[in-house]
Every structure is written in structure tokens, then in C-alpha cells.
Chains A and B, each alone.
Chain A
Amino acid sequence: AQSVSQHNHHVILSEAASLELGCNYSYGGTVNLFWYVQYPGQHLQLLLKYFSGDPLVKGIKGFEAEFIKSKFSFNLRKPSVQWSDTAEYFCAVKAPDAGNMLTFGGGTRLMVKP
């Protein structure tokens, strides 16, 4: 079975700082990878996804993530965060033979200070 680890549980940054959130997964085969965001009081939203091809994936709101197969990692990055990026971020993995089953990491709570 697959599992997902997010190493940073809480991150506090000032506006304009750069962001990198770590995500590592364990699964021996091909996986689909996702980052979801949950803004305060709102539902989970998809930030970006990786299925195949270019390992550098660009998502909404200036976020990007890089899939490094050898490291089983899919880290989320943003060059310059804004106060509005304050939210909880979840990395998720889906094995191609697992239907719609997403395996989520524990989440990283990001606070951006104005």
C-alpha cells in the first residue's frame, strides 16, 4: 500500500519569502501525484497534478512542483508567497490500479505574515 509523508507540519513565512513544502511517498510502481490546498473555511481544491511527462509541473496561483522519481518526492514550491496563501496544503498519491483512491499526507499548515 502507498503512504505519503509531509515533513513540515507547520510553516510560518513572511510575505515575499520563497516556499518549499516537502512530500515523499512510498510506492513501488507508477503513481499519479497531486497537491491540494484547503483555505480557511473552504473545501479542498486541486493546486496541481502530475501524471506523466515533464517532471516540473505548474499549477494555479504561481505554484509548481517537481517530481523526482529517484527520491520518491514531489515537493511544492512558490517563489514568493502572499498573505492569501495562508492555508493547509496536502500532498496526495494515486496508484493507477487504485481507482479513485487518493492517499493523502498529513498536511502542512502554512501561515504567511503580512
Chain B
Amino acid sequence: ETGVTQSPTHLIKTRGQQVTLRCSSQSGHNTVSWYQQALGQGPQFIFQYYREEENGRGNFPPRFSGLQFPNYSSELNVNALELDDSALYLCASSQSGSRWNEQFFGPGTRLTVL
């Protein structure tokens, strides 16, 4: 257990819908990163939030957006869902400024788009 929690565990949506995934970071961590892990592939970086602002983004379209709250928890929002958005979504938290900046991953939310 890392102390990073995500909700919900599983989610089924239909194409065109919108979804919100949630992440609570580990105590003492102020940075949250989101990753998408498609079946049979490694995680791909979506974006990172630090001090409630997006602070780095991977190769994902604008319909992927996020928020970070004052307690450092975070949301990932995906609009206009597509079939290819079906994946495991991972949240990772870390403490910016620490020497190792190690990221601790949550268990993930498995999203299925029909």
C-alpha cells in the first residue's frame, strides 16, 4: 500500500460521455501525475499538477483535463469519450523538491468505453 487512493475502481461509460476520476495523494505529497495504461502497454504520462496548476503535459488532447485541490487531491476529466480511452488510469503522487522525487502509484481506475 502506498497511501495513494483512487476512485472509482472500475467504470463503464459509452462513447461521447464524460468521466471524472479521483485521486488522493499520499500524506505530505504536493504533486500529482496521471498516467494512462492501455492493455498490454506501459503507462503513458498524461499530465502533472503542482500547486493546483498543470505543470507538464504528455501527448494527450485537450479533452483530457484535470484539477488539483488545496489538499493536493486531484481529478482527471475526460470529455467526449472514445473507444480508445479504455484503459487503466493511474495516479502517482510525490513530494516536489525532495532529492529522489519518487512517485508512489495508486491502484488505478479501470475505464471501459463501450
Contact = CB atoms under 8 A, between A and B. Distances in A.
Interface size class, chain B: 20 to 34
B31 interface: yes
B12 to A, nearest CB: 19
B45 A51 contact: no
Contacts of B31: 100
A49 B102 contact: yes
A101 B48 contact: yes
Interface size class, chain A: 20 to 34
Given A42-B107, A43-B106, A90 B42 contact: yes
Interface of A: 4, 6, 36, 42-46, 49, 51, 90, 92, 98-107
Given A100-B56, A104-B43, A46 B102 contact: yes
Contacts of A42: 107
